[in-house]
């Protein structure tokens, strides 16, 4: 069966996530397997506007599956949000003969793909973000690696907190979503976890949990804070002022984004990249690749972005039980 496209482009946009390189590799090799040319677009949508491209071969993606970050670089583009910017990007596609684009990134990346598709360019999105906050998919590339990185850091902090019988407040990423914080909190046996989805209440969410843990015999406490839920520094001050403890505050920051991707992120990225190329080759457009019950499926981007996603109720319930409140 003849492919619906002859040449496609692949880009990464928004925040980088471990596993993006594995996805790029998969897109390139899956395309070549189908005798479809693949072009790498550097610096996200900005690169598409400016024609910042390079030809991709099987050799050019050799040895990148284990590397964090993205070899195509990533950037955010205000110009791409304008009609003029979108027209420039569409013109670049026409000039270079790019009939399809695989965009790897988060929510903003998909909205960009959604807008570009209105100019007659076939687009498919692959979810890559450590926040795991894409509404239509159970899993996003980078989440497993970021979780494991944060868990390793917290475990190291806990060793010294136990030795000195202290309280530790650790801030993880998650400006608008608490998936990472909740998952990490469960994995490390945190005393309390603060997430953006719940309005911050120091007494209920922190003080009372520390008190109960202390009454149960604990002398060290671990508080995990999503950056969008509260300021870890402010939480630390409140603990000191209201509970008389001497907390240590650690902000993990961008260390969570880096590092060699886990096996899960590499495999999921590879499966998603393969499926993205398959859809474009079949002439489909405006799709987003998703993981549902460990199966790779696809949705219309409009439908996918309209879905609602909430914290895993079971995980939240388990966290409440484990923290003893």
Beta-sheet pairing, 287-292 with 295-300 = antiparallel
Interval 39-66: pLDDT, tens: 999 999 999 999 999 999 999 999 999 9
Output the DSSP codes for 193-219.
EE-TTS---HIIIIIHHHHHHHHTT--
Confirm whether 7-142+261-306 and 145-257 share one CATH topology: yes
Interval 122-180: pLDDT, tens: 999 999 999 998 989 999 999 999 999 999 999 999 888 888 778 999 999 998 899 99
Total number of residues shown for the chain:
325
- pLDDT band at 118; cut points 50, 70, 90: very high
What are the φ/ψ torsions at residue 313 (nearest 5 degrees)? Answer: -60, -35
Measured CA to CA, the distance from residue 295 to residue 319 in angstroms comes to: 27
The residue ranges of every structural domain in the chain are: 7-142+261-306, 145-257
Mean pLDDT of 15-19: 95
Is pLDDT above 90 for 286? yes
Interval 216-271: pLDDT, tens: 998 889 999 999 999 999 999 999 999 999 999 999 999 999 999 999 999 999 99
| Spacing of C-alpha 140 from chain mean position | 6
Beta bridge partners of 33: none
Q: Other C-beta atoms within 10 Å of 220: how many?
A: 18
Q: How far apart, in Å, are the Cα atoms of 275 and each of 21, 31, 109?
A: 16, 10, 18
Structure tokens at 51: 């024609």
- So what's the pLDDT on residue 282? 95
Cβ within 8 Å of residue 166, ≥6 positions away: 160, 220, 245, 246, 247, 248
- Point out the residues that are catalytic: 131
Fold topology of 145-257: Rossmann fold (3.40.50)
pTM of the model: 0.93
**Architecture, CATH, for domain 7-142+261-306:** 3-Layer(aba) Sandwich (3.40)
Is 19 in contact with 266 (CB distance < 8 Å)? yes
Is pLDDT above 90 for 307? no
For residue 17, the 8-state DSSP code is -
Is pLDDT above 70 for 104? yes
Structure tokens at 194: 């603060």
- So what's the pLDDT on residue 325? 43
pLDDT above 70: percentage of residues in the chain = 99
């Amino acid at each position: 069966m003849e492919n619906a496209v002859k040449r496609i482009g692949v880009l990464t946009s928004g925040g980088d996530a471990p596993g993006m390189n594995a996805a790029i590799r998969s897109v390139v090799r899956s395309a070549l397997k189908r005798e479809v040319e693949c072009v790498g677009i550097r610096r996200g949508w900005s690169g598409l506007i400016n024609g910042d491209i390079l030809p991709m071969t099987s050799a050019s993606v050799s040895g990148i599956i284990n590397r964090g970050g993205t070899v195509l670089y990533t950037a955010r583009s205000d110009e791409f949000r304008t009609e003029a910017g979108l027209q420039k990007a569409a013109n670049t596609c026409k000039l270079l003969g790019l009939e399809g684009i695989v965009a790897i990134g988060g929510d903003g990346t998909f909205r960009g793909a959604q807008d570009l598709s209105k100019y007659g360019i076939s687009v498919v999105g692959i979810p890559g973000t450590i926040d795991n906050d894409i509404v239509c998919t159970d899993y996003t590339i980078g989440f497993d690696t970021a979780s494991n990185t944060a868990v390793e850091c917290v475990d190291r902090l806990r060793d010294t907190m136990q030795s000195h019988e202290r309280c530790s407040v650790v801030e993880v990423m998650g400006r608008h979503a608490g998936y990472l914080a909740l998952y990490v909190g469960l994995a490390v046996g945190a005393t309390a976890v603060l997430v953006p989805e719940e309005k911050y209440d120091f007494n209920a969410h922190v003080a009372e949990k520390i008190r109960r843990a202390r009454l149960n015999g604990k002398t060290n406490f671990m508080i995990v804070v999503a950056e969008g839920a509260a300021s870890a520094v402010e939480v630390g001050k409140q603990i000191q002022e209201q509970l008389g403890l001497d907390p240590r505050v650690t902000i993990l920051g961008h260390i969570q984004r880096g590092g060699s991707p886990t096996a899960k992120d590499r495999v999921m990225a590879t499966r998603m990249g393969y499926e993205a190329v398959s859809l474009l080759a079949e002439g489909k457009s405006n799709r987003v690749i998703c993981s549902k019950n460990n199966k790779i499926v696809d949705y219309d981007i409009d439908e996918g972005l309209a879905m609602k996603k909430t914290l895993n109720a079971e995980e939240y319930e388990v966290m409440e039980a484990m923290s003893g409140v």
